[in-house]
Structure 1
Amino acid sequence: MLKSLPMLLLAILITSIVGIIIISIYQIYVSTVKQNKFNVIKDASITVIDRCGSILPYWLPLLEGLQNFGQQILPDYPFSLMSLYKKTLMPFVIVYVTNPAWAFIIFFILYYLFVRPKSPIPNRPFIRFNVLQSILLFLINSLLGATFRALPIEFRTSLYGLMVCNTLFWFVLLTIIYSVIKSIQGKYAKIPVISQAVRIQIDNQS
Structure 2
Amino acid sequence: MATQLPIWIIIIISTLSSSIIAMVLYQLYIYFKKYNNNFNKTSITIIDRASSILPYWLPLLEGLQNFGQQILPDYPFSLMSIYKKTLMPIVIFYVTHPALAFIVFFVLYYLFVRAKSPIPDRPFIRFNVLQSILLFLINSLLGATFRALPIEFRMSLYGFMLCNTLFWFVLSTIIYAVTKSIEGKYAKIPVISQAVRIQIDNRL
Using the size of structure 2 for normalisation, the TM-score is: 0.79
| Structure-2 residue corresponding to 1:97 | 95
Instruction: Give the Cα–Cα distance (whole angstroms) in 2 for the partners of residues 44 and 126 of structure 1.
Output: 9
Unaligned runs of 5+ in 2: 1-40
Aligned counterparts, 1:105-184, within 5 A: 105-184=103-182
Instruction: Give the Cα–Cα distance (whole angstroms) in 2 for the partners of residues 44 and 195 of structure 1.
Output: 19
Instruction: Give the Cα–Cα distance (whole angstroms) in 1 for the partners of residues 72 and 133 of structure 2.
Output: 24
Instruction: Give the Cα–Cα distance (whole angstroms) in 2 for the partners of residues 44 and 80 of structure 1.
Output: 43
- Of 53, 56, 61, which residue of structure 2 is paired with 1:55? 53
Instruction: Give the Cα–Cα distance (whole angstroms) in 2 for the partners of residues 49 and 114 of structure 1.
Output: 16
Instruction: Give the Cα–Cα distance (whole angstroms) in 2 for the partners of residues 52 and 117 of structure 1.
Output: 23
Per-residue CA deviation, residues 118-177 of structure 1 (Å, 9 max, x unaligned), is 100000000000000000000000000000000000000000000000000000000000
Instruction: Give the Cα–Cα distance (whole angstroms) in 2 for the partners of residues 44 and 85 of structure 1.
Output: 38
Q: Which residue identity is paired with 1:152?
A: P
Q: Which residue identity is paired with 2:87?
A: L
Instruction: Give the Cα–Cα distance (whole angstroms) in 2 for the partners of residues 107 and 134 of structure 1.
Output: 10
Q: Which residue identity is paired with 1:124?
A: R
Instruction: Give the Cα–Cα distance (whole angstroms) in 1 for the partners of residues 62 and 164 of structure 2.
Output: 15
Per-residue CA deviation, residues 77-114 of structure 1 (Å, 9 max, x unaligned), is 00000000000000000000000000000000000001
Show structure 1 runs of 4+ deviating over 4 A.
none
Instruction: Give the Cα–Cα distance (whole angstroms) in 1 for the partners of residues 140 and 80 of structure 2.
Output: 23
Paired residues, number: 164
CA shift at 1:44, angstroms? 6.6
CA shift at 1:201, angstroms? 0.5
Q: Which residue identity is paired with 1:179?
A: A
- Of 53, 56, 71, which residue of structure 2 is paired with 1:73? 71
Secondary structure of residue in 1 paired with 2:120: coil
Instruction: Give the Cα–Cα distance (whole angstroms) in 2 for the partners of residues 50 and 112 of structure 1.
Output: 18
| Structure-2 residue corresponding to 1:191 | 189
Aligned counterparts, 1:1-80, within 5 A: 45-80=43-78
CA shift at 1:117, angstroms? 1.0
Unaligned runs of 5+ in 1: 1-42
Secondary structure of residue in 2 paired with 1:143: helix
Secondary structure of residue in 2 paired with 1:94: helix
Instruction: Give the Cα–Cα distance (whole angstroms) in 1 for the partners of residues 88 and 194 of structure 2.
Output: 32
